[in-house]
Amino acid sequence: MRHGVDQHAMQPGASSLTTLVRAWAPVLACLLLAVVLQMVVGPLLVSAGWDFAAKLLLDIGINVILAVSLTMVNGFTGQFSIGHAAFMAVGAYVAAGIVYYGSFRLFGSAEMAGGLLSSAPEGRQGAWLTRGDALFGLSILAGGVASAGCGYLVGLPSLRLRGDYLAIVTLGFGEIVRVLIQSQTTETLYDPEEIAKTPLWQLPKYLGGALGFSGLPFYTSLFWVWVFALLTVLVAYRIKSSTYGRAFLSIREDEIASEAMGVDTTRYKVRAFVISAFFAGCAGALFAHTVGVQLNAGELGFVKSFDIIIMVVLGGLGSISGAFLAAIILTILPELLRSVSEYRMVAYATALILMMLLRPQGLLGVREIWDKRTWRWLTGSRTRKRGGS
């Protein structure tokens, strides 16, 4: 990948070992952080009686994946996809099918068979990772890959066109996915013998259809969610700070000029779209196996897509840390507003309108929280002059 290498990793004189360490250290850091969240923070929260906070951290993590991945399309390349929840649905159903029927075929039941890293903080014991975790981990990746494949199929024809057309196509894609899933049989198989008898290729029919897919084991834990959330942020950051990523940004800035610099804009838009769909699929897989969730395609329609778009816009189109912050705020806000129960959605909407009036460019605009410029800009000490001759 000629343009893809991170700048820091390419400094002349850096040995291949340093390069390797620099490339993989952040990944290890993500893993470590997720383990700490799972093994230390989760139990602490629960022992303090803050179970809801542990649950909220799961939702936040999933929303972070969704918002940051959508930022790569809507923020980086400036396209407007409004079907992100559909990619989530694809990932969710692919992963759920694999985990549910895979568990029956391999372990004889759909009981959760995970180790410490995928257990709820209460009542934990045994090994850190088990066969069940392997199945779950692989199914997340499979969900992501299936979703990325859909992203490629949808993106290739529609990304040749400009903004609004993509919006319509993605909206249509979202509805197609939802209707296709809901129009399947409402049956879910739960008899191990019957499942063992049914040929493998027929199993994907029995995903619960319009009634929703129930009986899924709850593998999703702080560890799994935050491994993927942090990796999504890491990938987004690496892309944004590479030459490769500047090609994405240049499309948003000025598509003609971008072409004039030799960027194959269609190909780059498709790439961003595929990467984004991959992570949305992973988020869907994680969502499907969360405690208290009954997977139903009806909930992954365009309303969900808009929720994600709101996070991206609120955070500032193109800002990774902005999307991250907005995902946190917009996950917590509805919970805080529970006290005003019936006016909750009104208050939520009002809060959004106020945000957009006060900061139409989003929390951080296109900047990142770690940019020096952000602080100057947030504090309003703008000394440079604009315009001129």
Partner 1 sequence: MLEVRDLKVNYGAIKALHGISLRVNQGEIVTLIGSNGAGKSTTLRTISGLLRPASGDILFEGASIRATPPHEIVRLGLVQSPEGRGVFPNMTVDENLQLGAFVRPASERGAIAADRERALGLFPRLRERLKQSAGTLSGGEQQMLAMARALIAKPRLLLLDEPSLGLAPQIVQTIFKIIRDINASGTTILLVEQNANMALRVAHRAYVLEVGRITMEGAAAELAQSDEVRKAYLGHG
The binding site for partner 1 (CB under 8 A) comprises 2-3, 5, 10, 12, 243, 246-247, 249-250, 253-254, 256-265, 318, 366, 384-389
Specify burial of residue 234 (Cβ count, 10 A radius: 0-12, 13-18, 19+): middle
**Shortest Cβ 7–partner 1 spacing (Å):** 9
184 vs 241 by CB, closer to partner 1: 241
269 vs 289 by CB, closer to partner 1: 269
**Shortest Cβ 4–partner 1 spacing (Å):** 10
The closest of 186, 153, 149 to 172, measured between CA atoms, is 153
202 vs 383 by CB, closer to partner 1: 383
If residue 270 lies in a helix (H) or strand (E), which one and from where to where?
Answer: helix 265-288
**Shortest Cβ 373–partner 1 spacing (Å):** 8
Residue 176 · residue 124 · CB < 8 Å = no
Q: Quote the tokens at residue 136.
A: 């779950």
Q: Report phi then psi at 121, rounded to 5.
A: -55, -30
**Shortest Cβ 82–partner 1 spacing (Å):** 23
Rounded-to-integer distance, Cα 362 and Cα 324, Å: 12
Residue 278 · residue 167 · CB < 8 Å = no
Rounded-to-integer distance, Cα 315 and Cα 309, Å: 10
137 vs 316 by CB, closer to partner 1: 316
**Shortest Cβ 271–partner 1 spacing (Å):** 14
Cβ-based neighbours of 64, under 8 Å, separated by 6 or more: 229, 232, 233, 323, 324, 327, 328
170 vs 265 by CB, closer to partner 1: 265
269 vs 304 by CB, closer to partner 1: 269
Residue with tokens 């494949």: 149
Rounded-to-integer distance, Cα 132 and Cα 165, Å: 42
Q: Quote the tokens at residue 211.
A: 């009634």
**Shortest Cβ 309–partner 1 spacing (Å):** 20
**Shortest Cβ 13–partner 1 spacing (Å):** 12
**Shortest Cβ 29–partner 1 spacing (Å):** 26
Count of CB atoms situated within 10 Å of the CB of 237: 18
Residue 63 · residue 327 · CB < 8 Å = yes
273 vs 302 by CB, closer to partner 1: 273
**Shortest Cβ 253–partner 1 spacing (Å):** 4
380 vs 388 by CB, closer to partner 1: 388
77 vs 103 by CB, closer to partner 1: 77
Q: CA angle, corner 136, sides to 135 and 140, nearest 5? A: 120
**Shortest Cβ 1–partner 1 spacing (Å):** 10
Q: Quote the tokens at residue 346.
A: 């009104």
- How many Cα atoms within 13 Å fall on the side-chain side of residue 188? 23
Rounded-to-integer distance, Cα 295 and Cα 143, Å: 14
Rounded-to-integer distance, Cα 115 and Cα 191, Å: 25
137 vs 315 by CB, closer to partner 1: 315
Residue type present at position 237: Y
